Amino acid sequence: GESVGLHLPTLSVQEGDNSIINCAYSNSASDYFIWYKQESGKGPQFIIDIRSNMDKRQGQRVTVLLNKTVKHLSLQIAATQPGDSAVYFCAENLTPSGTYKYIFGTGTRLKVLA
């Protein structure tokens, strides 16, 4: 499959444990953020989003936390499963009004250990 990064930070988690993936964003004016999951050989897949007027948003098994003070995002995955193994990217929107142009983080590789 496609290699999305040879030198990505890697998080190894035991199956069934919770995972926390962190991301620092660059622009304090960014007002919308997305987490993407990219599996080998595939393009990024939308997981969850959050607007800057929120601190927390929950989805199915995933929670995103936003700390605007320190420009930090985190993605929490509950009860991590082997299918969660992938590279995870955060993306920030740099054009708060009008059309959207996203800036992506470098990504974190999540490895789920059986």
Partner 1 sequence: KAGVTQTPRYLIKTRGQQVTLSCSPISGHRSVSWYQQTPGQGLQFLFEYFSETQRNKGNFPGRFSGRQFSNSRSEMNVSTLELGDSALYLCASSLEGASETDTQYFGPGTRLTVL
For the segment 15-54, give every residue that binds partner 1 (CB under 8 A).
31-32, 36, 41-46, 49, 51
Determine which residue in the list 53, 69, 70, 98 makes contact with partner 1, applying CB under 8 A.
Answer: 98
Which 3 state secondary structure label does DSSP give 91? strand
51-70: burial string, b at 16+ Cβ within 10 Å, e else: ebeeeeeeeeebbbbbeeee
Q: Which of 31, 14, 11 is nearest to 22 (CA)?
A: 11
Q: Which is nearer to partner 1, 10 or 45 (CB)?
A: 45
Least distance from partner 1 to the Cβ atom of residue 64, Å? 14
Cβ at position 60, least distance to partner 1 in Å: 16
Q: Does 2 bind partner 1 (CB under 8 A)?
A: yes
Distance CA(95)–CA(102), nearest Å, equals 8
Residues in a beta bridge with 77: 19, 62
Q: Cα 100 from chain centroid?
A: 18
| Listed ranges 10-18, 56-64, 66-74, 96-104: which one lies at the site for partner 1 (CB under 8 A) | 96-104
Q: Which residues bind partner 1 (CB under 8 A)?
A: 2-8, 31-32, 36, 41-46, 49, 51, 89, 91, 93, 95, 98-107
